[in-house]
Amino acid sequence: MLFDTHTHTHTHTRNSNSTKHRYGAEFKLEFARVARELEDSTTFTPRYLHFDGTRWGCRSSDNTNLCPDNCVLGGKYCSDTPRGDNVEGNLKGIDVVQENLRQLCVFEVVNQTNEEYKYWDYVVDFADRCFGEEGITSENFKQCSDETATANGIDHTKVDQCVTASGGHDVADGT
């Protein structure tokens, strides 16, 4: 009998998560350490969870956003309102969708310079600085994101350009 063993030198991983709750933040904090240790032998791709606005009843036949507190792009992408300490009543589902997109763009921006570790620094620092803190509201969530990016050596204007290139996420401009 002959056994053939394969040695894999590189692994691809995908992580599905959201900025919506503290559990995701705790996972990212723990996984960041592991991701850094495996950086040379893995390719990591983040994925963020959202709901289909059409299936959720948030998108009309003419693409009107019927759930503006929870959805973007005419009701296409949605998240429910975050619940938990310090966030209930302060943040909306739309804040989660917008930050999920920013985090995907942070990942894209830092990968252009082969600095994936900055993605992990950002998501962990964002959770500590911006999510669930008293005083964080829809109005200053983006500002906290920009400040966190800058603190971690990430050009938030490049992140904003990525967000715009991906279709944006603002409800006010009808997208």
Q: Flag whether 54 is in a domain.
A: no
Confidence band (pLDDT; 50, 70, 90) for 133? low
Taking each helix axis from N to C terminus, what angle separates 138-151 and 156-165, rounded to the nearest 10 degrees? 120
Q: Flag whether 76 is in a domain.
A: no
Q: Flag whether 63 is in a domain.
A: no
Count the residues in the chain.
175
Give the structural domain span for 104: 13-49+82-165
pTM of this structure: 0.79
For position 88, what pLDDT does the model report?
A: 54
Q: What is the pLDDT of residues 51-72, one digit of tens each?
A: 899 998 999 989 899 999 899 8
**Total of domains in the chain:** 1
**Nearest C-alpha neighbor of 84 from the set 20, 27, 17:** 20
Over range 80-96, report the average pLDDT. Answer: 72
Distance, in Å, from the CA atom of 34 to the CA atom of 57, rounded to the nearest integer, reads: 39
Q: Flag whether 1 is in a domain.
A: no
Q: Flag whether 104 is in a domain.
A: yes
Q: Flag whether 139 is in a domain.
A: yes
The secondary element (H helix, E strand) that includes residue 103 is: helix 93-111
Q: Flag whether 110 is in a domain.
A: yes
